[in-house]
């Protein structure tokens, strides 16, 4: 059976009807705050894209997309998106979005290779967003400013949730801290990457870990990133590689760190070529998306995804993401969750 954390003495603070109302409250409020904070306009997004265009995100490069033939296109294959990282950048160009503005959308995906546990589901729902930036804004300082603004929207959402449901008490710290993945390795050389995340989040409460995707001094990556969206190889003004990262918070209900967002400044032409070469993926240069970028037809951008169910989960103090979203779970997990006070939808 997949991994399952069963918090001792756990009891859901809201019943299932209150939970459904809380989910709507949080989703409506947060997306409006995010859009206002980052000047984002809502757009409609695809559930699937054609295979072979280089538009779908291949995540760590090993996850298999759910695919199917299209009868009316002579059985050309489409695949359910893993994320919209590259599609959003094409959309910025198609809509002629000006610098300082961007787009956001509801991203729904199926990740059939996901290992199911308290935080991971076959069904993925995110707010995917992307904004146009100038060449001068491709800096760590600009990235950190955007992270602070996103975190401020998260804090406002927590305040509203706790005001609406007084039985829920706030736990998020007022500030988010920044640490590079290389510094994290040097702080905890004896720990594995996920253990380092737990250690730093338990200490600081909310952290943005920078520079995820490239190899560190031990020859290993903190975590995998595809070579063709986040820029994890450009050296920033801090002297370290990477203009991207993850927002994580310490979640006392599960006594562990939870990633809420993966985001970053996207590759420019130079970073794309460098990262494709590093990862041995230079054959991708011939794909539709990559050609558009290499030919200067796409704007410079920053973007990311923010987990909808995960945000609702921590705001409502739930112990399992299946208490927030409807998905498929092993029957034994459903039984164990029921016995442990975690009723799955």
pLDDT in tens, 164-215: 999 999 999 999 999 999 999 999 999 999 999 999 999 999 999 999 999 9
Per-residue pLDDT at 60 exceeds 60: no
Catalytic residue at 246? yes
Annotated catalytic residue within 259, 284, 291, 336: 259
Catalytic residue at 230? no
Bridge partners for 230 per DSSP:
266
pLDDT confidence of residue 152 = 97
Annotated catalytic residue within 31, 182, 233, 262: 262
Judge if pTM exceeds 0.75. yes
Asked whether 180 and 148 are in contact (CB, 8 A), the reply is no
Annotated catalytic residue within 83, 126, 261, 325: 126
Annotated catalytic residue within 246, 256, 310, 325: 246
Buried b (16+ CB within 10 A) or exposed e, 238-269: bebbbbbbbbbbbbebbebbbbbbbbbbbbbe
Catalytic residue at 279? no
Residue pLDDT, tens place only, 84-121 = 888 999 999 999 999 999 999 999 888 878 888 999 98
Per-residue pLDDT at 58 exceeds 80: no
Q: Of residues 262 and 68, which shows the higher confidence score?
A: 262
Residue pLDDT, tens place only, 297-324 = 999 999 999 999 999 999 999 999 999 9
Which residue from 264, 246, 292, 231 is spatially nearest to 55, judged by alpha carbons? 292
pLDDT confidence of residue 113 = 80
pLDDT confidence of residue 3 = 81
**Can you state the angle between helices 140-164 and 16-38, rounded to 10 degrees?**
150
The four Cα atoms 185, 186, 192, 194 give a dihedral, to 10 degrees, of -50
pLDDT confidence of residue 109 = 86
Residue pLDDT, tens place only, 239-298 = 999 999 999 999 999 999 999 999 999 999 999 999 999 999 999 999 999 999 999 999
Catalytic residue at 262? yes
Catalytic residue at 126? yes
Catalytic residue at 181? no
**54: which residues sit within 8 A by CB, 6+ positions away?**
86, 228, 284, 287, 288, 289, 290
The four Cα atoms 235, 241, 245, 249 give a dihedral, to 10 degrees, of -120
Annotated catalytic residue within 111, 138, 196, 310: 111
């Amino acid at each position: 059976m997949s991994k399952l954390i069963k918090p001792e003495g756990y009891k859901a603070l809201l019943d299932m009807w209150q939970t459904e109302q809380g989910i709507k409250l949080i989703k409506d409020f947060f997306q409006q705050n995010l859009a206002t904070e980052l000047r984002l306009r809502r757009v409609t997004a695809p559930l699937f894209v054609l295979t072979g265009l280089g538009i779908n995100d291949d995540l760590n490069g090993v996850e298999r997309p759910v695919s199917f033939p299209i009868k009316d296109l002579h059985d050309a294959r489409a695949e359910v998106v893993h994320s919209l990282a590259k599609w959003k950048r094409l959309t910025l160009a198609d809509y002629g979005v000006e610098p300082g503005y961007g787009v956001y959308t509801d991203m729904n995906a199926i990740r059939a290779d996901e290992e199911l546990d308290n935080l991971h589901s076959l069904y993925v729902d995110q707010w995917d967003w992307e904004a146009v930036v100038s060449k001068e804004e491709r800096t760590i300082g600009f990235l950190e400013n955007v992270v602070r603004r996103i975190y401020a929207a998260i804090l406002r959402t927590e305040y509203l949730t706790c005001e609406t449901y007084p039985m829920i008490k706030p736990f998020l710290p007022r500030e988010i801290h920044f640490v590079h993945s290389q510094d994290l390795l040097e702080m905890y050389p004896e720990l594995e990457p996920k253990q380092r995340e737990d250690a730093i989040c338990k200490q600081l409460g909310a952290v943005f870990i920078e520079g995820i995707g490239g190899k560190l001094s031990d020859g290993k990556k903190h975590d995998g990133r595809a070579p063709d969206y986040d820029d994890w190889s450009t050296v920033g003004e801090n002297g370290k590689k990477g203009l991207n990262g993850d927002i994580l918070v310490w979640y006392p209900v599960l006594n562990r760190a939870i990633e809420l967002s993966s985001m970053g400044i996207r590759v420019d032409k130079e970073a794309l070529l460098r990262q494709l070469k590093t990862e041995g993926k230079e054959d991708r240069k011939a794909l539709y998306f990559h050609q558009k970028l290499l030919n200067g037809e796409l704007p410079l951008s920053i973007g990311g995804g923010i987990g909808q169910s995960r945000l609702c989960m921590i705001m409502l103090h739930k112990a399992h993401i299946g208490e927030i979203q409807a998905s498929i779970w092993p029957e034994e997990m459903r039984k164990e969750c029921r016995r442990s006070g975690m009723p799955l939808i």
